[in-house]
Amino acid sequence: MDETLPTATVRTEVTVPLRFPDGYVTSARVHSFHGLVDGREHLAIGLGERRDPDASPPLVRPHSECLTGDVFGSQRCDCGPQLREAVERIADAGGYLLYLRQEGRGIGLYAKLDAYALQDGGLDTYEANVALGRGADERDYTVAAQMLAALGVTRVALLSNNPDKAAQLERLGVTVVDQVLTGVHLSPANAGYLAAKVTRADHALDLPFVP
């Protein structure tokens, strides 16, 4: 890992049985940490069989918290379906879901709702953040790299469509052996949101209406 990366350590590991609304069940090893640089309560959720990370890189998804999508099933984004997909795929392959407290691309829950109001007026998801005086995407994956280092993981297969996640992790000393794409979770309510991901941030999404 990058020698300049502050050291984090595992604080607690507990087993939590999971059950999703569609009936899918699995067991997770939930890790908390000491020493994360932003002081927030991020989690690393171990799924599937433990494996030697040097022999076979684990499947890892850094997933930014989305209360509206992850908990309440909002269809304005694809966060809830991506979370559900990631849990099952990582449980099958073995790896970690890194649940990062970076609501609204890092701007917070209230600001995200303010951005929604601007989107209702015609701005896309990135333009709305900027109109609020914030960055288009303020997420920082330093804590993700710290958690992986604390777990002894230096090489990952990254479950993400977002090239910025891979680029940031590489800069932080994590070797991204492969970038594994998620599914496309398209609905009438999130079509504009997904299109903005492709056109504004180069997300690898195969949408039928984006050239």
- Residues labelled as active-site residues: 137, 139
C-alpha closest to that of 145 among 156, 135, 136? 156
Count CB-CB contacts under 10 A for residue 85.
16
Per DSSP bridges, beta strands 59-64 and 9-19 are: unpaired
In sequence order, the β-bridge partners of residue 59 are 95, 157
User: How big is the chain by its Cα radius of gyration, in Å?
Assistant: 17
Residue 61 structure tokens? 């998804």
- CA–CA distance, 9 with 44 (Å, rounded to integer): 12
